[in-house]
Amino acid sequence: MEDRRVTRALVEAAQRGDHDAFEALAIRVGDRLFAIARLILRDIPAAEDAVQDTLVHAWRDLPRLRDPERFDAWLHRLLVNACNDQVRLRRRWSGEIRVVHPELASDDVSSSMADRDQLERGFRRLKPEQRAVVVLHHYLGLTVPEVADTLGIPLGTAKSRLHYATETLRAALEADARGPVAATNGRPA
């Protein structure tokens, strides 16, 4: 509650042109935006550019945000749009860099390397708009209506994208269950 109050105060100050308030706000949300962008783009430099574009865009258009309570949703929409722009700019969706954290594959973590490999493969098969829905729902924990509202798409479209994406990832995991781990198609960073 306190966090929301502080965020609102910062948003309102930034809307009035207070750059220090905007910077404080950017620092509060920067890591979260970066995480979302990395998940959607699977490309760290592209994610950095997307976050930077998002924050600059946010600063420029903050005076037009009528309801400060909707700052997060508004910002997430800007970020998803920036990610889509990066996709169009870079056009290198498949088979690029694949970050592997070997330590996470040990027995004391519940997500196995096999899971990770197959999920990575399945996720890369998704379109950017499908990835965005998966990330907002499964990572940020938004409900499907909230996802639809954030992205500005009809509820049915959000449901459809989430269903397709989840089924794709589920199929990837089931493929993993049926056979040994295949060689990766990416290059470990």
Partner 1 sequence: MTRSRSAEDRIQQWLEEEAVGSLPDRVIDATFERSRGTRQAQWSDWRPFSMSRPFSAMIAVGAAAIVVAVGGALLVQARPDLRIGLPQATGAAEALPAGVLDATANLDLEIAETVRPHAKPPVPAPRRLESGSSSGTIEIAVAGRTVSGVLRLNLTHELEYSLTGPVVNHAWGLATGELNGAACDGSIAFSYFRGGPSGGTMFLRCADGTVFGGRVDSVDVTLSDSTWRMTARVNGSYKAGG
Q: Which residues bind partner 1 (CB under 8 A)?
A: 17, 19, 22-23, 26-27, 30-31, 33-36, 38-39, 48, 51-52, 55-56, 59-64, 66, 99, 101, 104, 110-112, 114-116, 119, 134-135, 138-139, 166, 169-170, 173, 177
> By CB neighbour count within 10 A (0-12 exposed, 13-18 middle, 19+ buried), where does 167 fall?
exposed
- Identity at 98, one-letter amino acid code: R
Nearer to partner 1 by Cβ, of 1 and 100: the residue is 100
d(CA 88, CA 32): 23
Q: With respect to partner 1, which residue has the nearer C-beta, 7 or 176? A: 176
CB of 182 to partner 1, least distance (A): 17
Shortest spacing between CB 148 and partner 1, in angstroms: 15
Q: 10 is written with which tokens?
A: 């910062």
Q: How far is the CB of 59 from partner 1 (least distance, A)?
A: 4
Please identify, using beta-carbon distances, which residue of 23 and 96 lies nearer to partner 1.
23
Give phi and psi for 187, each to the nearest 5. -105, 120
How long a stretch of residues is the chain? Answer: 189
Q: 9 or 100: whose CB is closer to partner 1?
A: 100
Compute the least distance from the CB of residue 159 to partner 1, in Å.
15
Give the side-chain half-sphere CA count within 13 A for 56.
7
Nearer to partner 1, 1 or 144 (CB): 144
Inter-CA distances, 97 with 4, 55, 84, 87, 149, Å: 36, 25, 18, 15, 32
